Amino acid sequence: MTSGLWELVLKGVWTTVQLLVLSALLATAVSFVVGIARTHRLWIVRFLAGCYTEVFRGTSALVMIFWVFFVLPVAFGWQLVPMWAATLALGLTYGAYGTEIVRGALNAVDPAQQESGVALSFTPWQRMRLILLPQAVPEMIPTFCNLLIELLKGTALVSVMGMGDLTFSANLVRLALQQSAEIYTYILLIYFVIAFALTRLMRGLEKKLKAGIGKEAGTDKAARELKRAQTTGIGAQA
């Protein structure tokens, strides 16, 4: 390939990485907010969170991209640029899968940990922040890693709306050179390199978080928080 065509591919890589990061941030935020809501003590909160999960998990990501980019402007008058439309569609769709990861990890924490928080007179948010999340998050990382790789591959869907991602750029190069095998082999390798880097990054994060269990997580941290509150004269209910 000529330098100009390689430059086109590299621009596609940059667009894909941008979309991946933005979509992953939105999906992570949605996963934790809705996932925690699915464990809420109020049934209406659990019901609404469950409705969101079922709707976005049960619809096609490709159709959702079309809906956000083409239907949303007609229905509500909100025209989004392709990057933000793709980020919104992918983030909400994959965030729905992430909610079940968060819910499952929180429910897997030993109930005795919850009871210890109640015994220490912690509020529900304190129990979540000091006891449940520090123990549940490390267990979420492997599954979140798989979901992140799926999101990376899902970014290729945005090529259908003319967004210059890696897949779209590769198709333009293929049309210019009429060399499908060579071009798509290169693209497969690029996706693999990005996925491999993400896997190593997530494994490092998992090791770091699991190394802190028993030091800063669980009832040890909760007890220190209670002791600090008592020492400073601040009630545990704050």
pLDDT reading at 198 higher than 80: yes
Q: What is the mean pLDDT of residues 75-93?
A: 89
- Decide if 95 contacts 53 (C-beta within 8 A): no
Mean pLDDT of the chain: 85
pLDDT digit string, tens, across residues 100-139: 999 999 999 888 887 888 888 788 888 888 888 988 999 9
User: Could you give the CA distance from residue 132 to residue 223 in angstroms, rounded to a whole number?
Assistant: 14
- Both tokens of 95, joined, read 């965030």
Question: What is residue 164's predicted lDDT score, i.e. its pLDDT?
Answer: 83
pLDDT digit string, tens, across residues 156-175: 999 888 888 888 888 888 88
Question: What is residue 209's predicted lDDT score, i.e. its pLDDT?
Answer: 84
**pTM passes above 0.95:** no
User: Could you give the CA distance from residue 21 to residue 201 in angstroms, rounded to a whole number?
Assistant: 13
- Percentage of the chain lying above the pLDDT 90 cut: 51
Q: What pLDDT band is residue 238 in, cutting at 50, 70 and 90?
A: very low
pLDDT reading at 144 higher than 90: yes
- Decide if 32 contacts 39 (C-beta within 8 A): no
Q: List, in order, residues 6 or more apart from 155 with CB less than 8 Å away.
A: 16, 19, 20, 23, 86, 90, 165, 166
pLDDT reading at 92 higher than 50: yes
The residue among 218, 231, 228, 226 whose CA lies nearest residue 131 is: 218
Question: What is residue 197's predicted lDDT score, i.e. its pLDDT?
Answer: 95
Q: 151 burial class (0-12, 13-18, 19+ CB within 10 angstroms)?
A: buried
Q: What is the mean pLDDT of residues 6-20?
A: 91
Q: Which residue has the higher pLDDT, 180 or 1?
A: 180
